[in-house]
Amino acid sequence: MSSLLVDNIGELVTNVPAAGGDGPLGLRRGVALLVEAGRVVWIGPARYAPAADRRIDAEGGAVLPGFVDSHAHLVFAGDRAAEFAARMAGEPYTGGGIRTTVGATRAASDDDLRDTVHRLRDEAMRQGTTTMEIKSGYGLTVVDEARSLRIAAEVTAETTFLGAHVVPAEYAGRPDDYVGLVCGPMLTAAAPYARWVDVFCERGAFDADHARAILTVGQSAGLGLRLHANQLGPGPGVRLGVELGAASVDHCTHLSDADVNALADSATADGSTAGDGSTSGDRQAGTVATLLPGAEFSTRSPYPDARRLLDAGVTVALATDCNPGSSYTSSMPFCVALAVREMRMTPAEAVWAATAGGARALRRTDVGVLRPGVRADLMILDAPSHLHLAYRPGVPLVRQVLHNGVPQCRL
Ligand SMILES: [Zn+2]
């Protein structure tokens, strides 16, 4: 069996504080890491490193778990650069442009959609992302939602059925009829390719009754629950997600004290009723608040207050929301930098949220951390410390990425 040793590591971020690490990131120095068969099999003092078939010299760079981007919309066609330019010239974001992308996506071939998914997945990988959730939601017909998920499933296990993204034009004024389609034939066609179900619960999209109906029937079909909630204004989404045991509520820009308290209470609640759809052994209690600062950046909107959530004890994740309308970035380092600069997170909190936090939001224990037994998903930085991800924004610091133990970048 071929083995690979990563050594000369400047700083190892493990996210495993109990393993003798320092702080929530479980920082370790003077260690090396051994990979076999796609798994981390050993971490220990470099001077005791076992012999290995191959070696990667980290050249004193920091090594971190690969980013876990738990919220992305990659299955689409076309772009909306002109809409972005109009917004920057003063027009407000309403979410209405989603229908533009729906039209382009329906008209696209499978290969066109596949090319976009692969291109963006590769772009994210070069920036350190080794786990990526991908949603449907630009097809909005039975056939187009199923094919979106089928294509997404070619590159990730974390696929999410988002038939309830917006009510498509042909159902204008008949949202109940569209929700019936989503809960019936569309879910049936989508479920074989999906791990999760999601709803855009927002004024102008789907209200709490619709969201509850869709999530409940999705859960019955074996899917875990996630929710777009409280992005554009206050609303019932966050508390609905917590009530139903969603793994994550995403955006969380406009929160009441009751919303924050519900999230905090979920973090300490018994996970036995969690609607995660996961197999035994990777259950984790609580609903994560996933913050998507790329969306606020790209819509010039107020950022969510991560400090308020963290101080209340809420588990926070960071993700890109990569989509052609409101956040066309695949860059987790960019999101880390925004979170530190604009959302009052410390660099350590932001790095944790972008790795271990994302894993919690997907109820995964085999990614987002580095310890023996987990998937060998990691990045090597051209910098001695994780601090540089926020300290040097916009700089391509990720030098190498291992995914399932396989180096992705040419050195
Ligand atoms: Zn989204």
pLDDT digits (tens, 9 = 90+) for 324-356: 999 999 999 999 999 999 999 999 999 999 999
What's residue 274's pLDDT?
39
Ordered strands of the 54-57 beta sheet: 39-45, 31-36, 3-7, 54-57
For 67-362, the fitting CATH number among 1.10.443.10, 3.30.70.270, 3.30.2270.10, 3.20.20.140 is: 3.20.20.140
Tens digit of pLDDT for each residue in 205-253?
999 999 999 999 999 999 999 999 999 899 999 999 999 999 999 999 9
Q: Which residues are annotated as a binding site for Zn(2+)?
A: 71, 73, 228, 321
Length in residues, the chain: 411
CATH number of 3-66+370-408: 2.30.40.10
CA of 251 to the centre of ligand 1 (A): 8
Give residue 99's pLDDT band: very low, low, confident or very high (50, 70, 90): confident
Could you tell me if 136 and 129 are in contact, meaning their C-beta atoms sit under 8 angstroms apart? no
Question: How far does the centroid of ligand 1 lie from the alpha carbon of residue 227, in Å?
Answer: 9
In 235-311, DSSP assigns E strands to 248-251, 288-291
Q: Where in the chain is the domain with CATH 3.20.20.140?
A: 67-362
Environment of ion ligand 1 (residues, CB < 5 A): 321
Q: What is the C-alpha separation between 129 and 65, in angstroms, rounded? A: 9
How do residues 75-92 score in pLDDT, each as one tens digit? 999 999 999 999 899 887
Which of 223, 218, 252 is CA-nearest to residue 238? 252
Count the alpha carbons within 13 Å of 132 in the hemisphere toward its beta carbon: 31
**What does the pLDDT read at residue 282?**
35
Q: With 90 as the cut, is the pLDDT of residue 59 above it?
A: yes
Distance separating alpha carbons of residues 242 and 288, to the nearest angstrom: 9
Binding residues: 71, 73, 80, 138, 165, 228, 231, 321, 323, 325-326
Expressed in angstroms and rounded, the spacing between residue 346 Cα and the centre of ligand 1 is 24
pLDDT beyond 60 at 101: yes
In sequence order, the 6+-apart residues with CB closer than 8 A to the CB of 410 are none
Place of tokens 């030098």: 399
CA of 1 to the centre of ligand 1 (A): 41
Give the residue ranges of the annotated binding site for N-formimidoyl-L-glutamate.
138, 323, 325
> Average pLDDT of 307-332?
97
pLDDT of res. 280: 35
Residue 312 clears pLDDT 90, i.e. is over it: yes
In Å, how far are 116, 166, 190, 309, 325 from 97, measured between CA atoms?
A: 19, 10, 24, 30, 7
Q: Can you give the pTM of this predicted structure? A: 0.94
User: How sure is the predictor about 21, in pLDDT bands with cuts at 50, 70 and 90?
Assistant: low
Residue 267: pLDDT band by 50, 70, 90 thresholds?
Answer: confident
